[in-house]
Amino acid sequence: MKKIYIIICTLFLFVPLALQAEQTSQPSASGRPLSFMIRPDKAQRKLAKKRSKQISRLVKQYRKASTEQKAAIKAQIEQIVSEATDESMAWMQERIAAEKENLSQWERKLQERQANLEQVKAQRVEEILSGEAKRRFKLAKKRWKKEIRDLKKSMK
């Protein structure tokens, strides 16, 4: 039962880190790149790994410890889990704020386009006829592939 509890706690702490596979490099209005908000930086991942090792070590000690020592070891585990959970919640709040900011930018962009709808349509037709749309698509596809490669490298 204790093993399951430790595994669940560990997963609770690290699932948000693992789910950050989508990464963008556009800076937000706060100046931080959105990739920071989607996936924790290297220092945060390193700290999470360190905590995981500490928890594993303490669990082994807990299993071997006498009844008197178990309470102290359990308190250490609770402290580590508490710190990690607090940091995870703070990170999630920052990410939500960044996503709200990103959403407001998209809404602003949509309103601008709706105001000039006929002009946007005419411009799109001209881009298609001139080949500009195809060129932009190729450049965007190239950027997306590079971002995915960079993301895969950073996950190793």
Q: For the chain, give every domain's residue range.
A: 2-115
Q: What angle do CA 126, 130, 133 make, to 5 degrees?
A: 80
Whole-number pLDDT of residue 91:
87
- The DSSP call for residue 116 is T
Global pTM? 0.52
Whole-number pLDDT of residue 97:
92
Whole-number pLDDT of residue 29:
47
- The radius of gyration of the chain from alpha carbons, rounded to an integer in Å, stands at 23
Q: What separation, in Å, do the N-terminal and C-terminal C-alpha atoms of the chain show?
A: 32
Whole-number pLDDT of residue 153:
84
- Average pLDDT for runs of 10 along the chain of length 156: 55 45 42 54 85 93 91 93 91 90 93 90 92 92 92 80
Whole-number pLDDT of residue 5:
52
Whole-number pLDDT of residue 34:
47
Place of tokens 């006498």: 66
Cα–Cα dist 90/97, whole Å:
11
Whole-number pLDDT of residue 22:
37
Whole-number pLDDT of residue 56:
93
